[in-house]
Amino acid sequence: MNHIERMELEAEELNNKITKATEFLENEIKNPTCTNEVQRIKLACQIEYMLNYFTILIDRINYDKSLLNK
């Protein structure tokens, strides 16, 4: 597995975590069962950081792929 494939795998795993965390947060906002407001705010911040990380990772993948196509 080369470095691009490893980044793609990492991006896929991260995307799954983002999806699950977002779904959980949306459910907790509608009907809080195991979180309070502070926990939901912190989770929202965590998701935002994860999304930023995901965006940078995708940019790196695309950049490295473009170098291979030159």
Alpha-carbon distance 37 to 15, whole Å?
24
pLDDT average, residue stretch 8-30: 98
Alpha-carbon distance 43 to 58, whole Å?
22
Please provide residue 43's backbone torsions phi and psi, each rounded to the nearest 5 degrees: -65, -40
Q: Tell me: the pLDDT tens digits for 47-61?
A: 999 999 999 999 999
Q: Are 17 and 53 in contact (CB under 8 A)?
A: no
Please provide residue 33's backbone torsions phi and psi, each rounded to the nearest 5 degrees: -120, -30
pTM reported for the whole predicted model:
0.92
